[in-house]
Amino acid sequence: MNKLTRRRFLFGGTLGAGALVLTGCDAAVQDPGIEGVIRSAEGLTMKTQRLLQGRHALAREFSEADISPSFRVNGTSAPDSKEYAQLLDGDFVDWRLKVDGLVDRPQAFSLADLRKLPARTQITRHDCVEGWSAIAKWTGVPLSTILATAGPKPGARYVVFHCADELEKTLDGSGRYYESIDLIDAYHPQTILAYAMNDRNLMVGHGAPLRLRVERQLGYKQAKYIMRIEIVDSYAALWGGNGGYWEDRGYEWYAGI
Ligand SMILES: Nc1nc2c(c(=O)[nH]1)N[C@H]1C(S)=C(S)[C@@H](COP(=O)(O)O)O[C@H]1N2
Ligand SMILES: [Mo]
């Protein structure tokens, strides 16, 4: 019976759209079996859509009036390496964003290079797992643009962000901050590499010269002080093996909000 309905849909093209709908409804009403099939198919579609939509849906965007008068600096407030101090001294003119790993064309972008690329601006709410939130306006380059330039190789699955700071040396003597997201989040339109916050260059406290905004996830995924982006097929071999500084200390890898 299911086949029959499908055929009516496929071959009933000469009828008006209204007639088609009526035919479908009539058949369903007359035969509860078909209705059942349609219902379960609908259920499946909804479930699939929710799954996909869930990851692709946009995070809420706010208006200028909603921007928080103050935005906390959390975690590292300034990387304390000599290398970072020198870069900061030179206004990050010598800083390069390296993009490597499973890519056809490894890249090195200066801040000027990034500013020349098409930018996206979004006003979003940052939610820290510690229980505070703040709204800010972020401007930067969509990560999808950077990926398109580098050309991920087949097998690429995650984007890893290597940061300049060591937060706390605990586990294996290293506390290097890093984060990772999968390609679904990497290509999400609101996933940007931000160089500006509230229309000003990113302050050191908030991650100068470049930080990640991945708006569907919690604060600890928003890597600050990005030095290098590495495309990988697995993050198991990196640091503690759980895909991020906080993940290696027990937090969820997918920190959806
Ligand atoms: N490199 C780096 N990125 C980081 C952190 C950090 O300590 N180092 N802290 C994370 C956490 S827990 C939060 S809530 C946000 C804080 O960003 P903010 O300092 O701009 O508020 O950055 C995240 N990204
Ligand atoms: Mo956080």
Query: What DSSP designation does 50 have?
Result: H
Chain position carrying tokens 């103050």: 70
Q: What is the mean pLDDT of residues 40-59?
A: 70
Q: How far apart are CA 9 and CA 6, in angstroms?
A: 5
How far does residue 91's CA lie from ligand 2's centre (Å)?
A: 27
Residue nearest to atom 15 of ligand 1 (CA): 219
The reported pLDDT for the residue numbered 44 is 62
Q: Report DSSP letters for 79-127, one per residue.
A: ---HHHHHHHHTTTTT--EEEEESBSS-EEE-HHHHHHS--EEEEEEEE
Mean pLDDT, the chain, integer = 87
Q: How confident is the model at residue 245 (pLDDT cuts 50, 70, 90)?
A: very high
**Amino acid 254: pLDDT:** 96
Q: Tell me, in angstroms, the distance from the centre of ligand 1 to residue 227's CA.
A: 15
Ligand 1, residues at Cβ distance < 6 Å: 71-76, 128, 163, 165, 167, 177, 205-207, 219-220, 222-225
- Which of 83, 103, 75 has its CA nearest to residue 221? 75
Pocket test for ligand 1, best of 68, 160, 224, 227 (most atoms within 8 A of CB): 224
At residue 41, the pLDDT reads 62
Confidence of residue 62 (pLDDT cuts 50, 70, 90): very high
Query: Whose alpha carbon is nearest atom 24 of ligand 1?
Result: 223
Question: In angstroms, how far apart are the furthest CA atoms of the chain?
Answer: 78
Q: What percent of the chain has pLDDT over 90?
A: 75
Look at strands 97-101 and 226-232 and give their pairing: parallel
pLDDT top residue among 246 and 21:
246
Proximal ligand: closest to the CA of 247: 1
- What local confidence, expressed as pLDDT, does residue 63 receive? 98
Which protein residue's CA is at the shortest distance from atom 12 of ligand 1? 220
pLDDT value at residue 12: 38
Separation between Cα atoms, residue 39 and residue 45, nearest integer Å: 10
Of the pLDDT bands very low, low, confident and very high (cuts 50, 70, 90), residue 168 is confident
What is the enclosing helix (H) or strand (E) of 197?
A: strand 192-197
- Ligand approaching nearest to the C-alpha of 75: 1
Checking if the pLDDT of 5 tops 70, the result is: no
pLDDT band at 138 (very low <50, low <70, confident <90, very high): very high
| 109-137 per-position pLDDT tens digit | 999 999 999 999 999 999 999 999 999 99
Residue 68, CB-side half-sphere exposure with 13 Å CA sphere: 14
pLDDT beyond 90 at 4 = no
153: CA distance to ligand 2 center in Å? 32
Q: Model-level pTM? A: 0.82
Spatial strand order of the sheet with 107-109 comes to 107-109, 97-101, 226-232, 158-166, 176-182
Q: How far from 220 is each of 37, 64, 155, 178, 247, CA to CA, in Å?
A: 44, 24, 26, 10, 9
Q: Where are the beta strands (DSSP E) in 199-242?
A: 200-201, 211-213, 226-232
Task: Indicate which residue's Cα is closest to atom 23 of ligand 1.
Answer: 220
Q: Which one has a higher pLDDT value, 10 or 105?
A: 105
pLDDT of residue 2: 42
Higher pLDDT: 184 or 18? It is 184
pLDDT in tens, 186-222: 999 999 999 999 999 999 999 999 999 999 999 999 9
Who wins on pLDDT, 28 or 253? 253
